Structure 1
């Protein structure tokens, strides 16, 4: 498992191997050029990180590459439904915590452009850091893997939805 940003969103005990990339830390990985082999991870988590990456299209491709054909990428971005379409700032904005963009619902089209064979399951949950309602997406090329995750989420009381619709 690879997690970008050392946040408390994942309990680490259930993984045989758990790697964290912390920006500016000794294990910082460039999300747009991940220095790892293809299909290195079963799960990659980027919780509130993608908006900090200059080339999100390239980063999405890299996340798909290192997660492999059966891997899953967990993505969340802040304020997903605040705007009708993604707003590009052109550079990281200090007044926006270093964000390059504010994503809108058209993020699904961006995922499809970056990784055309990705399928997606969305969930609405509470952010463990802020306590605010947050949307997250599980992306994979494996429909079977996403189906199993959808079933687990439903059994846990979540209402998963097709995030590509």
Structure 2
């Protein structure tokens, strides 16, 4: 019975995340649930994508999403949560209410029970020639925290 719960939860997922990113993140719509966002005073060469849930289901890992698009990503040796094509660095986070989660295993635990919100998938990317994996991890940690603050402020204003 327990092995079925993660799949059944997709039918009962609350849609508490809807509405897209706050305007303070300067969103540019790419598709109905996908936006490119920009933080004020953030590095211009780091792209940030905000992906809302599609169909109420749980998000895939970045590596799976990339594989669907023909990109083969590999973890970097020094920072396993930073993945790369060799030319571009990527890192994923999940915005879960008032918390930012890094790592898909933690995300799966947070979305295990029926009715759990699938959250927002945040994907950061930049040219590998611009940053070391360690620098990129440190910068994206800070940017993810700032996105969380913007989202919490927008929720409080509603």
TM-score where L is the length of structure 1: 0.32
Greater relative contact order (CA < 8 Å, ≥ 6 in sequence): 2
Between Structure 1 and Structure 2, the one with more helix by share is: 2
